[in-house]
């Protein structure tokens, strides 16, 4: 019998808080040269570009920049809070606790700054400074949980190997709803996998095998002739060992994808070896929502996971906006702008 003497795990869970906002996507920040206004989704100008910068509308108000100061306009384009702030955030919904009611009054507020040291105060929708900033949003969502990261302490084993089936065991793993344990072992300088009955699950033909459970699922990273592939925990070949680098990611749709590199080009497959991005790029990065890919001219494009739409690599940088609808980009001319998921550009350089 194979006995594991040491095997313990430290689990780190990372989470971030979300603040609730009510962004109005019927008014899209639109840039004409160096001036900003707002257009409809079909690019009809709703508020003439006249500002140095703008934010999205939230709760009927949008921050706009005049010179080096920020104020707020309504959807008719009327300035309802004068431009007197050095910083102006989107309006959001929160509450002000009271002595007799911890939940207090629900209200709309925005964080702004009027001091050189960027000290933040909060204002209400009429521009009146509040005695204190609401602590949390009334409609704040649940924590944006990130995948767990597991740090493993090295394991050691006592071996009963009178039959000489292997030289050493280097790691082990189990499968849910099964009492079976699988052992990664070495023999003659090659690696394979046995189960506890000494049946071969993965033949001893790889230069290295290691466990990759970074997504919460157990995979086997295998190396052969200095090239990397992926096997399932049952030993099925998922990604052939033909890649110089390989990174498995679990995306926001709950699926696992593999960013691979062959030579100087990067690609994306799903975990079952189906091509997602098959035309090679200089670099591909998962940003938490989709894939940003960079071509040989260092211009970026985007792949939306939710609908499969692709934005051509024609921008100096791309930032996803958490709505599955828009990207904030820096254009070839070095100016900011917005692009919808179907590639519509809301700017004129």
- Predicted pLDDT of residue 8: 32
Residue 1: is its pLDDT beyond 60?
no
Higher pLDDT, 18 or 46: 46
Residue 179: is its pLDDT beyond 90?
no
Q: What is the Cα–Cα distance from 279 to 268, expressed in whole angstroms?
A: 9
Assign 124 a pLDDT band (cuts: 50, 70, 90). Answer: very high
What 8-state DSSP symbol labels residue 288? S
pLDDT per position as a tens digit, 44-95? 999 999 999 999 999 999 999 999 999 999 999 999 999 999 999 999 988 8
pLDDT per position as a tens digit, 279-291? 999 999 999 999 9
CATH number, span 244-349: 2.40.128
- Predicted pLDDT of residue 120: 86
Dihedral sign, Cα of residue 166, residue 170, residue 175, residue 179:
positive
Give percent of the chain above pLDDT 90.
68
Are the beta carbons of 79 and 65 closer than 8 angstroms?
no
Residue 136: is its pLDDT beyond 70?
no
- Predicted pLDDT of residue 103: 65
Residue 258: is its pLDDT beyond 80?
yes
- Sorted by where each begins, the domain ranges of the chain are 1-18+142-211, 28-141, 244-349
Query: Where is mean pLDDT largest: 98-112, 164-178, 311-325?
Result: 311-325
Q: What is the Cα–Cα distance from 137 to 120, expressed in whole angstroms?
A: 17
What 8-state DSSP symbol labels residue 334? S
């Amino acid at each position: 019998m194979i006995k594991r003497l040491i095997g313990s795990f430290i689990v780190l869970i990372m989470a971030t808080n979300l603040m609730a906002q009510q962004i109005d996507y019927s008014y899209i920040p639109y840039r004409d040269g160096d001036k900003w206004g707002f257009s409809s989704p079909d690019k009809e100008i709703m508020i003439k570009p006249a500002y140095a910068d703008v934010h999205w509308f939230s709760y009927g108000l949008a921050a706009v920049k005049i010179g080096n100061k920020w104020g707020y306009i309504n959807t008719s384009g009327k300035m309802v809070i004068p431009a007197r702030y050095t910083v102006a955030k989107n309006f959001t919904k929160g509450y002000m606790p009271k002595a007799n009611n911890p939940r207090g009054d629900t209200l709309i507020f925005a964080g702004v700054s009027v001091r050189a040291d960027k000290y933040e105060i909060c204002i209400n929708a009429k521009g009146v400074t509040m005695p204190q900033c609401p602590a949390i949003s009334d409609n704040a969502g649940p924590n944006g949980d990130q995948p767990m990261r597991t740090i493993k302490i090295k394991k050691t084993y006592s071996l009963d190997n009178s039959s000489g089936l292997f030289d050493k065991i280097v790691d082990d793993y189990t499968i849910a709803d099964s009492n079976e344990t699988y052992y990664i072992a070495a023999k003659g300088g090659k690696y394979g996998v046995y189960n506890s009955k000494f049946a071969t699950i993965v033949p001893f033909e790889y230069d290295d095998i290691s466990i990759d459970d970074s997504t919460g699922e157990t995979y086997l990273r295998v190396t052969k002739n200095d090239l990397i592939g992926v096997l399932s925990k049952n030993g099925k070949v998922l990604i052939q060992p033909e890649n110089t680098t390989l990174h498995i990611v679990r995306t926001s749709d709950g699926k696992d994808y593999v960013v691979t590199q062959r030579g100087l080009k990067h690609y994306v497959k799903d975990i079952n070896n189906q091509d997602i991005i098959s035309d090679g790029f200089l670099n591909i990065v998962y940003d938490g929502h989709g894939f940003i890919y960079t071509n040989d001219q260092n211009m970026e494009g985007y792949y939306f996971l939710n609908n499969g739409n692709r934005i051509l690599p024609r921008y100096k940088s791309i930032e996803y906006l958490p709505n599955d609808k828009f990207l904030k980009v820096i254009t070839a001319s070095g100016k900011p702008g917005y692009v919808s998921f179907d590639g519509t550009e809301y700017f004129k350089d």
